[in-house]
Every structure is written in structure tokens, then in C-alpha cells.
Amino acid sequence: VHPKDLPKVSKIEGRITNGYAAEEGKAPYTVGLGFSGGWWCGGSIIAHDWVLTAEHCIGNADSVTVYFGATWRTNAQYTHWVGNGNFISHSNADIALIRIPHVDFWHMVNKVELPSYNDRYNDYNEWWAVACGWGGTYDGSPLPDWLQCADLQIIHNSECASYYGTGTVGDNIICVRVVDGKGTCGGDSGGPLVTHDGSKLVGVTNWVSGAGCQAGHPAGFQRVTYHLDWIRDHTGISY
């Protein structure tokens, strides 16, 4: 299910479960997205004027308020309101772009780099990565106010497909192992998955198991390397 749809207090959600509280400046590329329909998602700053998130977050929203540099959920360094004319949805993948007013970078608000084009065939199997967000901290829990992060290991798509099938786990998906209940559970749809080594954005949070966040099933992300051409075509960003 999509993390943003998990009951806030029984759908796939985007939350961080059994993670740790982020210190200020831990993930300056993470933004909170408060959509006009009343739902919450995460996103990643990928340039001075672009945020990457999930397509299912955008939905039919008229606008979004972007929270920059927040560790306490709504206590951001600043916010920007953005209308849906600045939303770019992917026609057949759960990934989207939001054009934002230019933001200056400093230690609390900064971009995360995309993988380089030369690295586009790296599957990142067994790499460690970090996911951060404000999603619920356990199934059905209210959304936490403080930014949470979890360290997660990327797994082979075949292992992920053994849970969900190859129809769900295509080449555009990257999955992480959920151990000891750690994972992205609801509220963090659209949020970042960033490698420990080199700090590259490799995933955009998409779904967790309908069996519940604590079930131990892998969590799925859009695989950023799969979408490098699409991102470049719309934003001009490439490495």
C-alpha cells in the first residue's frame, strides 16, 4: 500500500518504523509536502528549483506547501506554496517532479545528488542506504512530529519479487529488506532512499506490504537510475 494512505491512527503507507530521530541537518535534502487534499508526503530536493516525489502523492491536489529544513515536522526553516501547474507526473511510473521557487543551499537545506549516468546499471544490491521521513512510527500510529530515519539494506529484485511478484517488482523498482520491523511504513510516500556510500538518491518511497509495516516484508521504491532520462528531460539535471 502507499504509505500516505495507511490509516493515520489500513492501507500501503510510507512511514519510518523502528528508526531513530534525525539530528538537525542530518537529511537537509528531505522536504515535507502538505497537499491541499490534507495528506502528507515526503520529497527530495534535487536542484535549487526541483523536488522529486511519488506520483501517487500528487494525485488530484490543487497545491502543496513545501516544508524546507524541518526536523520538527511543521517547524520548517521556511515554506513555499506551489500550485499544481508546477507538478510533472510520470505517465506510467509512480514518480513525479515539483518545480519550486529557487532555494539557496546551506547546512539545513541542500540537494541530494542523483546517481551519475555512467552508474545507471548499478543495481545497488546489498548496499546500505538511509530513508528519512515523518511517517508513522508503527502501524496505525499518529504521524510523528520529529524527522525519523532508518538504515536499510537494498536487496535483489528477485528476492523482493518472491513476496510481491514480478508484475509489481519491475526494473523500475528497488527494494529494501525490512529487519526487526525497521522500514518505511505510512506517511513517507515520496521520500528519499540515499546510499550511505557517496550519498546518492537511489529510491523514491512507493509502497510497503499490505500485511502491515511490522510484517517483515520488503518495502518498494522507484529506482532512480531507471528514471534518469526522464528526470533530465524535464529538468536538465544530470551527473
Residue showing cell 495507511: 6
Q: Which CATH superfamily is domain 30-111+228-235 in?
A: Trypsin-like serine proteases (2.40.10.10)
Task: Identify the bridge partners of residue 35 per DSSP, sorted by sequence position.
Answer: 64
Mean pLDDT value across residues 199-227: 88
Mean pLDDT value across residues 20-43: 91
Q: Is 155 exposed, middle or buried (0-12, 13-18, 19+ CB in 10 A)?
A: buried
CA 163/CA 12 separation, integer angstroms: 14
Query: Known catalytic residues?
Result: 56, 94, 189
The values of phi and psi at residue 118, to 5°, are -70, -15
**pTM of the complete model:** 0.90
Strands (E) across 62-138 are located at 63-68, 78-83, 87-89, 96-99, 128-133
Residue 134's nearest CA partner among 184, 65, 86 is 184
CA 33/CA 43 separation, integer angstroms: 7
Q: What is the 8-class DSSP label of residue 94? A: S
pLDDT tens digits for range 135-163: 755 555 666 678 888 899 999 999 999 99
For 94-134, the three-class secondary structure string (H helix, E strand, C coil) is: CCEEEECCCCCCECCECCCECCCHHHCCCCCCCCEEEEEEC
pLDDT tens digits for range 183-212: 665 447 899 999 999 999 999 998 877 776
Tally Cβ neighbours within 10 Å of residue 61. Answer: 19
Domains 3-22+113-226 and 30-111+228-235 share a fold: yes
Q: Which CATH superfamily is domain 3-22+113-226 in?
A: Trypsin-like serine proteases (2.40.10.10)
The pLDDT-based confidence of 12 (bands split at 50, 70, 90) is: very low
Domain residue spans in the chain?
Answer: 3-22+113-226, 30-111+228-235
Residue 150's nearest CA partner among 185, 175, 190 is 185
